[in-house]
């Protein structure tokens, strides 16, 4: 039995007793019941994930999966494929947006080269060199990945989480030119929804480019008979190594009782795939950021988890998720430090 199957067997439901205790604890505080809304939901969920009413977040880790996509050959992106490597190095050097935000909010950042076309030659302490191939196949011509490589990418994501279990909480993002196309194709395969509601302009496609992107996705999903197919088959045929690796992040966190923050569109696609593979894994995910990509409304419905940040952002990298860390910490502090009426009266004498 491989790591993939072993991980799925380890994923369990949240501790219902702890969830109820957490709810009762928050209801007892000196405030109207549920008046702190999402802060209370977060505190309760993390208590259930960790089986701890007084969970502390001392160490935070943001993981970025980076890979190139063969579908870029079809002109579905306004950015050249070389940007994947360039932006990945900017992240590692902490001069890209995600590096700056992680530094600002005291979050460790590690990037996984799971399939960048060009090699990163400089040495970085926070780089995992886990390249499977120099990018996926162009799914217009053949499936993006073999099943073996798809599962390997998921297992790499799982193993990276397991190498970092000293961290108290995780978040994730991605880098890969063309990955709004792969993500949209996956969402179309999973839901069969109207492509006009799913497909966006990504990095800034023209009207003509947008129409071409939709046509490519529609024809590929039809060719591979993906609507109604299994999540793994959809992922391997039209997905990417970056998304598969992020699926591994979610499954790895769920199997090891660690909370993980979902970012925007592409991060949510990986979360939805993980949920379709093992429904209990959704209990360990916290949706944070409403991306500007049009398919986000469908994703939110399918995941059943509503993001609480709406920042008009669509950069990716996990920028929205990282911005949520202070809110997550605030919810936990409310659980630990807020007093009930009796305690308040005693404090005030």
Active site residues: 317
Residue 345 exposed, middle or buried by CB count within 10 Å (0-12, 13-18, 19+): exposed
> Is-contact 317 173, C-beta < 8 A?
yes
Sequence-separated (6 or more) residues with CB below 8 Å from residue 179: 67, 69, 240, 242, 243, 266, 316
Distance CA 245, CA 235 (A): 11
> Is-contact 316 266, C-beta < 8 A?
yes
* CA-closest candidate to residue 43, choices 54, 59, 29: 54
Distance CA 233, CA 240 (A): 12
Positive or negative, the Cα torsion across 89, 140, 155, 282? positive
* CA-closest candidate to residue 318, choices 268, 255, 274: 268
In terms of residues, how long is the chain? 349
Side by side, the strands of the sheet bearing 285-287 are 127-129, 108-115, 60-67, 169-175, 260-262, 285-287
Distance CA 43, CA 38 (A): 9
């Amino acid at each position: 039995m491989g790591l993939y199957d072993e991980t799925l067997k380890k994923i369990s439901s949240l501790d219902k007793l702890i969830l109820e205790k957490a709810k009762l604890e928050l209801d007892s505080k000196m405030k109207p019941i549920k008046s702190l809304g999402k802060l209370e939901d977060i505190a309760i969920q993390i208590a259930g994930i960790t089986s701890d009413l007084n969970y502390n977040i001392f160490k935070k880790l943001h993981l970025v999966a980076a890979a190139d996509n063969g579908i870029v050959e079809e002109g579905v992106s306004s950015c050249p494929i070389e940007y994947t490597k360039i932006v990945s190095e900017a992240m590692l050097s902490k001069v890209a947006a995600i590096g700056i935000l992680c530094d600002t909010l005291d979050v460790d950042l590690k990037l996984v080269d799971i399939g960048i076309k060009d090699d990163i030659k400089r040495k970085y302490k926070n780089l995992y060199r886990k390249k499977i191939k120099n990018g996926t196949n162009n799914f217009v011509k053949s499936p993006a990945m073999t099943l073996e490589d798809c599962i390997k990418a998921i297992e790499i994501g799982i193993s990276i989480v397991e190498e970092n279990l000293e961290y108290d909480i995780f978040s994730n993002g991605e880098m890969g030119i063309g990955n709004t196309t792969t993500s949209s194709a996956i969402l179309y395969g999973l839901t069969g929804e109207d492509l006009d509601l799913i497909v966006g302009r990504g990095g800034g496609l023209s009207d003509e480019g947008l129409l071409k992107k939709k046509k490519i996705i529609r024809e590929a999903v039809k060719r591979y008979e993906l609507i109604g197919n299994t999540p793994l088959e959809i992922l391997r045929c039209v997905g990417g190594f970056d998304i598969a690796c992020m699926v591994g992040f979610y499954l790895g966190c769920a199997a090891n009782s660690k909370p993980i923050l979902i970012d925007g569109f592409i991060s949510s696609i990986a979360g939805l795939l993980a949920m379709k593979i093992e429904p209990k894994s959704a209990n360990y995910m916290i949706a944070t950021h409403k991306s500007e990509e049009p398919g986000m409304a469908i994703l939110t419905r399918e995941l059943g988890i509503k993001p609480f940040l709406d920042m008009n952002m669509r950069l990716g990298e996990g920028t929205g998720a990282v911005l949520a860390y202070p809110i997550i910490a605030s919810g936990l502090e409310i659980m630990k430090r807020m007093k009930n009426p009796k305690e308040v009266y005693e404090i005030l004498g």
